[in-house]
């Protein structure tokens, strides 16, 4: 009996340290998460400069990063720095350089690029997850695009926007309201009144939904809005008409839009625009290419 007790005690002595080793081998893993944010730093009408910033918001080091996003047709990256940027159609991917992939907790790194066109990034992913720091769960699809916003109650300094709701299998959390591609508000309803605008100025609005997992869906269609006021569009009596000729088909080959007349400084030099071409059908004025004139 004394021998059995000694054997049992010896086995217990061996088992306890092993159990301790098992516990050490499976600690609670510290969370690794990160965010990717975009800002347009310059805009010269026919092109722009953009910058992405990746930040490690977790408690463990990040060894590498990959940022993915979609641009609308007609917008593309022409050159980039501090990241290797490639594309497949309208989908763009940026991977870290050999020297800037590791990020300690709380650290951040930025990379930039020059682009052509006027679109904004959509469907951002960072290392396969949400750019807002959440995670993209398998089987949990991002929300759909909301409806193109409508504009009402337009004044010199404000406009009310409304849109149809996005759909999501787990539920929509909120909406980002974008003005000229930059976020100006996040709301939980399907309407928003933007204030502090400039009289007689053109703006473009779109909306993007976020689900309960913080996944962003695609950006809605854009709504062009011009605030009221800003002076008369007619020249004073006796002044000469300074006429500009705008070719509608230029929105395709040149990717040149009416709003580019403003951003390039041309609009301030003319009093009228001859927009080509309109048409007359069944005794009424009409537009031939409605996609070029209104949508694109």
pLDDT of 133 reads 63
Q: What is the mean pLDDT of residues 245-268?
A: 80
- What percent of the chain has pLDDT above 70? 83
Could you give the CA distance from residue 51 to residue 62 in angstroms, rounded to a whole number? 20
Q: Provide the pLDDT for residue 33.
A: 81
- Which residues, at least 6 apart from 210, have a Cβ–Cβ distance to it below 8 Å? 132, 143, 172, 173, 174, 175, 176, 186, 216, 217
Grouping H, G, I as helix, E, B as strand and the rest as coil, residue 16 is: helix
- Residue 248 located in a structural domain: yes
Q: Per-residue confidence at 29, pLDDT binned at 50, 70, 90?
A: very low
Residues 254 and 224 in one domain: no
For residues 161 and 74, what is the distance between their CA atoms, to the nearest angstrom?
A: 26
Cβ count near 12 (within 10 Å): 9
pLDDT value at 192 more than 90? yes
Per-residue pLDDT band for 241 (boundaries 50, 70, 90) equals confident
Q: What is the CATH number of the domain that holds 176?
A: 2.60.40.10
SS3 67: strand
Residues 129 and 35 in one domain: yes
pLDDT tens for residues 52-63?
Answer: 999 988 888 888
Tally the domains of the chain.
3
Structure confidence at residue 234 (pLDDT): 54
Copy the structure tokens of residue 243.
Answer: 């006429």
In this structure, are residues 143 and 217 in contact, taking their beta carbons and an 8 Å threshold?
yes
Whether residue 5 lies inside any domain: the answer is no
| CA 174 remoteness from chain centre | 15
pLDDT at 294: 75
- Rounded-to-integer distance, Cα 202 and Cα 246, Å: 17
% of the chain beyond a pLDDT of 90: 43
Question: Which tokens hold the place of 26?
Answer: 């499976």
Please give the Cα distance from 288 to 277 (Å, whole number). Answer: 7
Higher-scoring residue by pLDDT: 132, 140: 132
Give the pLDDT band (50/70/90) at residue 17.
Answer: very low
Q: Tell me the pLDDT band of 32, cut-offs 50, 70 and 90.
A: low
- Among residues 158, 97, 109, 128, which one has the least CA distance to residue 32? 128
Provide the pLDDT for residue 285: 82
On whether residue 119 sits in a domain, the answer given is yes
Residue that finishes a domain, picked among 99, 117, 136 = 136
Reported as a single tens digit per residue, the pLDDT across 141-172 is 788 999 999 999 999 999 999 999 999 888 89
Q: What is the pLDDT of residue 102?
A: 93
Whether the per-residue pLDDT at 138 is higher than 70: the answer is: no
Say if residue 248 is in the same domain as residue 225: no
CA neighbor of 191 nearest in space, from 152, 220, 225: 152
Q: Does a structural domain hold residue 2?
A: no
Q: How confident is the model at residue 295 (pLDDT cuts 50, 70, 90)?
A: confident
Beta-carbon contacts of residue 267 (< 8 Å; ≥ 6 apart) = 261
**In this predicted model, which residue has the larger pLDDT, 143 or 133?**
143
Flag whether 50 is in a domain.
yes
Give the SS3 label for residue 261: helix
Q: What is the CA radius of gyration of the chain?
A: 28
Mean pLDDT computed over every residue of the chain: 81
- Structural domain includes residue 200: yes
- Window from 28-42, 64-78, 128-142 with minimum mean pLDDT: 128-142
Quick one: average pLDDT of 65-91? 94
Residues 71-100: what's their mean pLDDT?
A: 94
Please determine, for residue 19, whether its predicted confidence score (pLDDT) is greater than 50: no
Is residue 178 scored above 70 in pLDDT? yes
Residue 116's beta-bridge partner residues?
47, 76
User: Per the domain annotation, does 105 fall within a domain?
Assistant: yes
Q: Residues 136, 141, 143, 145: is their CA dihedral positive or negative?
A: positive
Cα gap 122→292, rounded to integer Å: 22
Q: Judge whether 171 and 211 are in contact, CB under 8 Å.
A: yes
Domain of 209?
A: 142-230
Q: Where are the alpha helices (DSSP H) in the chain?
A: 2-25, 250-253, 260-263, 290
Of 230, 262, 285, the last residue of a domain is: 230
Instruction: Please tell me the predicted confidence (pLDDT) of residue 276.
Output: 82
Domain CATH for 91: 2.60.40.290
Decide which of 116, 136, 156 is a domain's last residue: 136
Task: Choose between 151 and 28: higher pLDDT.
Answer: 151
Q: How far apart are the first and last CA of the chain?
A: 92
């Amino acid at each position: 009996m004394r021998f059995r007790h000694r054997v049992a005690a010896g086995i217990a002595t061996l088992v306890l340290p092993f159990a301790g080793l098992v516990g050490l081998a499976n600690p609670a893993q510290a969370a690794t998460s990160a965010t990717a944010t975009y800002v347009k730093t310059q805009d010269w009408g026919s092109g722009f400069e953009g910058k992405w910033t990746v930040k490690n918001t977790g408690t463990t080091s990040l060894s590498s990063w990959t940022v993915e996003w979609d641009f609308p047709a007609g917008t593309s990256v022409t050159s980039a720095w501090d990241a290797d940027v490639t594309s497949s159609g309208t989908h763009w991917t940026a991977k870290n350089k050999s020297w800037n992939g590791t990020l300690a907790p709380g650290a951040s790194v930025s990379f930039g690029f020059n682009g052509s066109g006027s679109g904004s990034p959509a469907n951002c992913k960072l290392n396969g997850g949400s750019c807002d720091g959440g995670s993209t769960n398998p089987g949990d699809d991002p929300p759909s695009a909301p409806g193109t916003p409508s504009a009402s109650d337009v004044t010199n300094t404000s406009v009310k926007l409304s849109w149809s709701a996005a759909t999501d299998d787990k539920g929509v959390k909120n909406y980002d309201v974008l003005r000229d591609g930059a976020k100006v508000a996040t709301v939980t309803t399907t309407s928003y009144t933007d204030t502090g605008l400039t009289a007689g100025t053109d703006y473009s609005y779109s909306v993007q939904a976020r689900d309960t997992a913080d996944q962003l869906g695609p950006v809605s269609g854009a709504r062009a809005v011009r605030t009221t006021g800003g002076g008369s569009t007619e020249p004073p009596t006796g002044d000469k008409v300074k006429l500009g000729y705008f070719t509608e088909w230029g929105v395709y080959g040149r990717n040149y839009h009416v709003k580019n007349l403003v951003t390039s400084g041309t609009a301030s030099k003319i009093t009228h625009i001859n927009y080509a071409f309109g048409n007359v059908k069944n005794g009424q004025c009409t537009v031939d290419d409605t996609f070029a004139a209104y949508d694109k």
